[in-house]
Amino acid sequence: MKVLITNNHVLNDNLYNEINELNLFLNDDKEVKIMQLGEGRITYFNPDYDIAIVELKESDGITDYLELDDNLFKEETKAYYKDISIYILQYPHGNIASVS
């Protein structure tokens, strides 16, 4: 599964349900990518860890992505992934760099 990962304070479930599209600025690319949102995408939002994950579709035209195991969000495999950690480098709320 190809995913977009950002911070929950940037994109959360409430905002995701209110907007129709997302403007993406990827790396040093000057071109803005417009991602159409809506039903049919797998999403995960966690304010405690300040993380948001949104499934990417081929129609998004995004070639730089993180690929996760397709089973990650399936109910029957949640126990397997429960103790696996993902470390995220971030600048929470504009503060100094930290690891979540």
Residue boundaries of the structural domains of the chain: 2-74
Compute CA distances 34 → 23, 60, 67, 96, whole Å. Answer: 5, 7, 20, 29
Mean pLDDT in residue range 20-44: 80
Rounded Cα distance, 56 and 37, in Å: 10
Question: Which residues, in sequence order, are CB contacts of 53 under 8 Å at separation 6+?
Answer: 3, 4, 5, 42, 43, 44, 45, 68
Query: How confident is residue 82, by pLDDT bands cut at 50, 70 and 90?
Result: confident
Q: Which residue has the tokens 């600025």?
A: 25
Residue 28 has pLDDT above 70, yes or no: no
Rounded Cα distance, 67 and 20, in Å: 24
pLDDT greater at residue 92 or residue 16: 16
Judge if pTM exceeds 0.75: no
Among 14, 10, 24, smallest CA distance to 92 is for: 10
Joined together, the tokens standing for residue 71 give 């089973």
pLDDT, tens digit (0-9, with 9 covering 90-100), for 34-60: 888 877 888 999 888 888 989 888 888
Residues 55, 1 contacting (CB under 8 angstroms): yes
